[in-house]
Structure formats: structure tokens, C-alpha cells
């Protein structure tokens, strides 16, 4: 029987319904910004970052959580003595700032939220020092100050052996013309940026798979990759801030960008306006995902609807600027390529991957 994200306890229909209810209620508070000299710009609700508009700039705010990836790190630490909390900390920063940049904001300050079930969690110096060092490393990579945080002890809510990692960030768009608004058009090029692996989404399903493997996280993933399942899962996320920053410095407009996390490749059609996103050069799935699809088994449609499948970020640019954008991406250290084209087909909204026989209609992504 094929594994699914829903079977691991995650149902997007329930999560997204709650998010939509929150957005509706939140809109009723927008007028309060006037008392502070700000306003809510059009079309900010439902995007990955919330914007506040001033006369000559925008401020951006994001709140994000790591999810359950640290439970994988805990299991590998217990089994092998290898500590991956540096990587876990980088993941936490990455999932925050990669959302922030989708509107064109560059991160200024990042805060950590580290909730534990028992304060004794912090007594493990190896683990704690790795977490601290990794969070600072992630902030430096994002070009942001580590501004502080919160460390509540939540006995009865969090397991004594666990930590719940999350955080927030503020950023700024100045000049206001750097805002990424979704100015997508027929023929735009779709650029894909490689991920490091699973990054920070789908870990509940990854953990469910580990539980059915005789060797658990110590299982070799094969497919030409020498790592174990646990090691591959715990590769730190890529931080994509440098690409957006360089585009702004060079005056290269980004029509839209997407942080490919929850909802897998469906996230490519997050923009409200209907387009068809045709992926003609998808690349084969990396070894980790091939292993999971075989070992689960996890069918292809479920995999691409849940995981990033090797794609952590996508940018949509005018076709005559695609080569320049790719050169810039590669010059700033990213593995990027031209993966497809935006099509306008009336009110049709979909992601189509002909080489894999996949199509996700707009009804499969309801985040607004």
C-alpha cells in the first residue's frame, strides 16, 4: 500500500481551511495600520510574507516553523552519536528567510523561538552549542542580524525530550519598485533552483517511512548516493536570499518567485491569477526521493504534491532575461536551470509536467 502525507497525519484541506479563516479575520484589522502611519498593500494576503506599506518603502514580516525535522536529528543522534543540530538551525533560518524574500524583501532581523518540554534539554552542550552556532551561521548567510528570541518551557505540551523550533523575521523593500507582485505573463521563463534534499517539508511522511525500514535511518539510500537515509534527510536547507539580492542590485526584475515547500510542486501556482505552468525540463528526482518513492512506496503524484523533489525555489522572469538571470544565479552559487514556460489559457490554472505524466489543477492548492 502506497504511503501518503495524509496517512502520516497531515491534511492540507484542514490546514488550508484554517489559514483561509485566519486571513479573513485578519483583514478586519488592517485599518489599524493607519494609526501607525502605514497601510496594507493590495494582494499581500495569501502570499508567503505579509507587507506593510510606508511612503517610500515596505516592511515585511514572516513567522515560520521548522516542523518535525529535529525528531529525525534526535533519532540519528541517539543511534550514531552524530549531532546534526547545526544543520537543523540553518534549516530553521532558511524556512523563514526563504519565505520573506518571495515578496522582494531582504531580511533585516531574525528571531528564534525554541520551546522545550523540559529545560534539561539545554543541558546537552554538544547539541545546544550546535544549535546556537548553526542559527548564527544561517543568519549570516541570509545577511540578517539575529535579533533575539524566546525559550519557553512547556511541560505537558511538548515532550520532555523534544524541542519545537520556529522563528520570525522582518525585512524591508526599498525602493518600493523592488516589490515582487506577480507580474507574470504568457511566455515567461520558469527557472528552477536545486534544493539540498527534503529541506523542511514532508518530514512527517519521511519519519513514517523510517519506522517501517528494518535499518531505520541507517538504511543506505543507494542510487549512487553513499549516505544513509538519516544523513540525506538532515542536509541543511539552501538559503536563496543572495539571488534576490543580486537581482535587485543588477536591476533585473523578478516577475514572481516561489519557495517550494508545503504542497510540493503545486506551490508553483501560488499566484492568484490563473496560468498554466508547463515544466518541460524537470530533471530526474535526486537519489533521496527515488529511494523514498521505492521504499515507501510513495507514488509519483503523491511525491510531487508533497515534497520539493529537488527544487527548493523557482523564479519567473521575462524570456529575454532568462539567460541573464541564470548567469546571475550560477554566479551567486546556485544550481539553477530553465525548467519551463508560463502559458496563458483563459481561466485554466495548473502545473503540468508532461515528461512525468503529471498535472495538478488549481483546485489542488487552496491557500487564499
Domains belonging to the chain, first-starting first, are 15-178 (3.30.1330.10), 189-364 (3.90.650.10)
Q: Is 171 within 8 Å of 100 (Cβ atoms)?
A: yes
Q: What is the pTM of this model?
A: 0.93
Using alpha carbons only, how large is the chain's radius of gyration in Å? 20
Estimate the crossing angle of helix 85-100 against helix 69-80, to 10 degrees: 170
β-pair partners for 165 = 114
SS3 of the chain: helix, strand, coil, percent, to 5: 40, 25, 35
Residue 331 CB contacts under 8 Å (≥ 6 apart), including other chains: 246
Cell of 143: 545577511
Instruction: List per-residue pLDDT tens for the chain, 368 residues long.
Output: 677 767 666 776 787 788 788 888 988 888 889 999 999 998 888 777 899 999 999 999 999 999 999 999 999 999 999 999 999 999 999 999 999 999 999 999 999 999 999 999 999 999 999 999 999 999 999 999 999 999 999 999 999 999 999 999 999 999 999 999 999 999 999 999 999 999 999 999 999 999 999 999 999 999 999 999 999 999 999 999 999 999 999 999 999 999 998 889 999 999 989 999 999 999 999 999 999 999 999 999 999 999 999 999 999 999 999 999 999 999 999 999 999 999 999 999 999 999 999 999 989 887 66
Helix (H, G, I), strand (E, B) or coil at 277: strand
How far is 84 from 356, CA to CA, in rounded Å? 34
Q: Is 62 within 8 Å of 169 (Cβ atoms)?
A: yes
Residue 269 CB contacts under 8 Å (≥ 6 apart), including other chains: 275, 277, 349, 350, 351, 360, 362, 365
From 214, 244, 211, 218, select the one nearest 232 (Cα to Cα).
218
- The reply to whether omega before 175 is within 30° of 0 (cis) is yes
- The reply to whether omega before 63 is within 30° of 0 (cis) is no
Amino acid at each position: 500500500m502506497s504511503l501518503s502525507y495524509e496517512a502520516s497525519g497531515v491534511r492540507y484541506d484542514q490546514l488550508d481551511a484554517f489559514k483561509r479563516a485566519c486571513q479573513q479575520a485578519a483583514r478586519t484589522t488592517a485599518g489599524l495600520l493607519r494609526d501607525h502611519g502605514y497601510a496594507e498593500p493590495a494582494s499581500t494576503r495569501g502570499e508567503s510574507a505579509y507587507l506593510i506599506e510606508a511612503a517610500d518603502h515596505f516592511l515585511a514580516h514572516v513567522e515560520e516553523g521548522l516542523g518535525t525535522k529535529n525528531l529525525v536529528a534526535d533519532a540519528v543522534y541517539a543511534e550514531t552519536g552524530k549531532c546534526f543540530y547545526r544543520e537543523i538551525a540553518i534549516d530553521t533560518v532558511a524556512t523563514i528567510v526563504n519565505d520573506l524574500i518571495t515578496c522582494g524583501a531582504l531580511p533585516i532581523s531574525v528571531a528564534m523561538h525554541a520551546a522545550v518540554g523540559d529545560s534539561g534539554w539545554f543541558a546537552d552542550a554538544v547539541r545546544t552549542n550546535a544549535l546556537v552556532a548553526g542559527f548564527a551561521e544561517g543568519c549570516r548567510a541570509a545577511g540578517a542580524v539575529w535579533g533575539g528570541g524566546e525559550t519557553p518551557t512547556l511541560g505537558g505540551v511538548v515532550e520532555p525530550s523534544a524541542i519545537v523550533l520556529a522563528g520570525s523575521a522582518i525585512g524591508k523593500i526599498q525602493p518600493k519598485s523592488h516589490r515582487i507582485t506577480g507580474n507574470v505573463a504568457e511566455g515567461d521563463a520558469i527557472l528552477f533552483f536545486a534544493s539540498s534534499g527534503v529541506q523542511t517539508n514532508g518530514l512527517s511522511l519521511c519519519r513514517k517511512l523510517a519506522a517501517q525500514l528494518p535499518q531505520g535511518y541507517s538504511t543506505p539510500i543507494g542510487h549512487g548516493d553513499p549516505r544513509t537515509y538519516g544523513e540525506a534527510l538532515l542536509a541543511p536547507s539552501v538559503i536563496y536570499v543572495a539571488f534576490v539580492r543580486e537581482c535587485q542590485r543588477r536591476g533585473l526584475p523578478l516577475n514572481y518567485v516561489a519557495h517550494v515547500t508545503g504542497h510540493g510542486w503545486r506551490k508553483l501556482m501560488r499566484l492568484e491569477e490563473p496560468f498554466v505552468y508547463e515544466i518541460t525540463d524537470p530533471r530526474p528526482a535526486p537519489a533521496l526521493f527515488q529511494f523514498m518513492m521505492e521504499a515507501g512506496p510513495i507514488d509519483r503524484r503523491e511525491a510531487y504534491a508533497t515534497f520539493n523533489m529537488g527544487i527548493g525555489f523557482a523564479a519567473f522572469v521575462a524570456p529575454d532575461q532568462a539567460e541573464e538571470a541564470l548567469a546571475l544565479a550560477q554566479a551567486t552559487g546556485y544550481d539553477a536551470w530553465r525548467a519551463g514556460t508560463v502559458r496563458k489559457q483563459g481561466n485554466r490554472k495548473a502545473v503540468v509536467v508532461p515528461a512525468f505524466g503529471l498535472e495538478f489543477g488549481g483546485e489542488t492548492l487552496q491557500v487564499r
